Amino acid sequence: MRVLVVKMSSLGDVIHTLPAISDAASLRNDIRFDWVVEEAFTAIPDQHPAVDQVIPIGLRRWTRQLPRSGGLRDASRFVRRLRDVRYDLIIDAQGLLKSAVVAGLARGTVAGLDGQSAREPLSRRFYHETVSVPRSQHAVTRVRQLFARTLGYEVPIGDPNYGLDQRVQLEPTWPTRVMLLHGTTWESKHWPRDCWRELARSLGESDIEVVLTSGSAKEKERAEFVVRDLPNARLLPQMPLTDVMREMALCHGVVSVDSGLGHLAVAMEKPVIGIYGATNSTLTGMYGRQVITLATRHLPCAPCLRKDCQFLPLPNQNAIFPPCYEQITPERVASTLVGVLSR
């Protein structure tokens, strides 16, 4: 049976789909998977042994290039490749209008979430088959149920298996090494940079080396501030996702805000301390047996699901802002991490 999976972005959402692939591969050995994914994230499905072909889509790039001929030419080439194979089943695992259109371009029976379950209900108009999955469940569970109901099996009991192949052995130069993932999209999801610096300094007192990544210029500036003059901290050079995975494989643990790389750390079976304020860890948070979530509990507005905090910074310059992080102090994060690593 040849199945096409459409889950294009973002990084965290792509990673959330891996356990469903693992479920199907373990229970249906007759299935071969192909996967349509944004070209920036091809390294993720490429690491799963049950995925035969990864079909990159440059939707974000094409949007910037149109109406120039280069974008149109690349899009046309993608559609031709997509239609080369007739699939027994096409699963839109994203539930958006754009993903439904891509699924509809492929040849075969298209399945997806019904109007009550999908993030964008109009997507159902592109499906031949629909299933209902409660929106109150975590995203990983929702995708696992979507696959189970379309492919005809029961979701296995137990922790999700992300199925990524860890090919790099742990060879730390310090007794312990951790990665601090400070970069994220929304302003409201950022833990203050002073907190990151204090965390890095505190971990040095426990002989823990810390490494930081950066993507944008703003992330690089923040990371440089965190590591400045700290002998146990360093900033990694900018690198492709595959190299980030290799660096992460060398770490004993990870501290992360709500970010795609945080989900990747979970998929690589690293102990992860997740820091949550504005977003809902229950529905879309890092999900695995080695995850400890530190989330705001003292404010009625949290999680607000807003990109920007509705409050103004307090006059007290020492106050943590956004206020939903007031109780998630560097001391609390450090003690939690050290406790996990000492087990």
Q: Decide whether 2-151 matches 176-341 in CATH topology.
A: yes
Alpha carbon distance 74, 78 (integer Å): 6
Each domain of the chain, given as residue ranges in start order, spans 2-151, 176-341
Options 1.10.287.3610, 3.40.50.2000, 3.40.50.1110, 3.40.50.300; CATH for 2-151 is 3.40.50.2000
* Cis amide bond preceding 322, omega within 30: yes
Is there a cis peptide before residue 303, judged by omega within 30 degrees of 0? Answer: yes
CATH 3.40.50.2000 fits 176-341, yes or no: yes
Distance CA 190, CA 71 (A): 34
What is the C-alpha to C-alpha distance for residues 134 and 222, in angstroms, rounded to an integer?
A: 39
Alpha helices in the chain (DSSP H): 11-27, 43-46, 59-65, 69-82, 97-105, 139-151, 193-205, 217-227, 241-249, 260-267, 281-284, 330-341
Do 43 and 164 contact (CB within 8 A), yes or no? no
One pLDDT digit (tens) per residue for the chain, 343 residues = 999 999 999 999 999 999 999 999 999 999 999 999 999 999 999 999 999 999 999 988 887 766 665 678 888 999 999 999 999 999 999 999 999 999 999 999 999 999 999 999 999 999 999 999 999 999 999 999 999 999 999 999 999 999 987 554 455 556 799 999 999 988 888 999 999 999 999 999 999 999 999 988 999 999 999 999 999 999 999 999 999 999 999 999 999 999 999 999 999 999 999 999 888 999 999 999 999 999 987 788 888 888 888 876 666 655 678 888 889 999 999 999 999 999 8
CA–CA dist 194, 144 (Å, integer)? 39
Residue 59, CA distances (Å) to 38, 71, 84, 118, 229 in order: 7, 9, 19, 21, 41
What whole-number distance in Å separates Cα of residue 55 and Cα of residue 87?
14
Total-model pTM = 0.92
Q: Is 145 helix (H, G, I), strand (E, B) or coil?
A: helix
Whether residue 210 contacts residue 9, with contact meaning beta carbons closer than 8 Å, is answered with no
